[in-house]
């Protein structure tokens, strides 16, 4: 189990260990070596988990794999994924658990207007807005945030995020959400 976790969170702890291993394997391109001794390039890989927000009902976490090739100028981020874990359902939440109506063009345009790095975008005036993939989603007390790595929406400097408030999301959300929005708190920094 994750140090400091409660016994009722054992499924979450196991799931997070599995995610870390998947990211590590993704870095090694699926070859399944146990270390760099069996790999043709020297370096290291780190898997880091950042708790973004939590409540008695949910935990929102960013899982990130960072790699470094020996001799490289700086480390790179190999892969990242957001996970919203339901402590009620004992599994990750899906988009269908949260949205009654999938994010549409209107919501994608709101996301584009609120994106915090518009200068880095390839198409800052795209009439379709920006893609809102569930794998890029985290939740917090203010609403739902979609985060993007460099190169996803433009060049190297295009990374950023957009948060849409719970009130703006209301028409899209299920009436029987598997969590209480009022109890979600940001993790201490």
The CATH number that applies at residue 173 is 3.90.640.20
50 in Cβ contact with 21 (< 8 Å): no
65, 104: one domain: no
pLDDT of residue 5: 61
Assign 17 a pLDDT band (cuts: 50, 70, 90): confident
- Tell me if 116 is assigned to some domain: yes
Structural domain harbouring 109? 95-186
Residue 73, CA atoms < 13 Å, CB-side half-sphere: 0
pLDDT for residue 37 = 45
* Distance from C-alpha of 184 to C-alpha of 51, rounded to nearest angstrom: 12
Distance CA 185, CA 85 (A): 14
DSSP code at position 18? H
Asked if residue 83 and residue 99 are part of one domain, the reply reads no
Would you state the pLDDT for residue 91?
95
Percentage of the chain lying above the pLDDT 70 cut: 77
Q: What is the arithmetic mean of pLDDT over 134-141?
A: 94
The pLDDT value given to residue 36: 46
pLDDT at 1 over 50: no
pLDDT value at 129 more than 50: yes
What pTM does this model have? Answer: 0.81
1 part of a folded domain: no
Q: How many angstroms separate the CA atoms of 25 and 15, rounded?
A: 15
The larger pLDDT score, comparing residue 115 to residue 37, is at: 115
Distance, CA of 36 to chain centre = 27
75 in the same domain as 15: yes
Is a pLDDT exceeding 90 seen at residue 6?
no
């Amino acid at each position: 189990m994750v140090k400091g976790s409660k016994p009722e969170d054992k499924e979450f702890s196991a799931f997070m260990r599995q995610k870390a291993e998947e990211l590590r394997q993704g870095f090694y391109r699926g070859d399944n070596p146990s270390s760099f001794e069996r790999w043709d390039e020297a370096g290291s890989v780190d898997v880091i988990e950042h708790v973004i927000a939590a409540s008695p009902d949910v935990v929102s976490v960013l899982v990130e794999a960072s790699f470094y090739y020996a001799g490289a100028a700086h480390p790179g981020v190999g892969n990242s994924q957001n996970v919203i874990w339901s402590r009620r359902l004992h599994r990750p939440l899906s988009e269908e658990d949260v949205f009654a109506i999938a994010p549409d063009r209107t919501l994608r345009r709101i996301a584009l207007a609120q994106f915090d790095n518009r200068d880095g975008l390839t198409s800052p005036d795209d009439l379709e807005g920006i893609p809102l993939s569930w794998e890029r989603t985290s939740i917090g007390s203010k609403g739902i945030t979609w985060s993007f790595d460099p190169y996803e929406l433009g060049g190297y400097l295009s990374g950023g995020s957009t948060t849409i408030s719970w009130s703006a999301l209301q028409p899209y959300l299920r009436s029987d959400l598997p969590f209480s929005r009022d109890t979600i708190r940001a993790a201490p920094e």
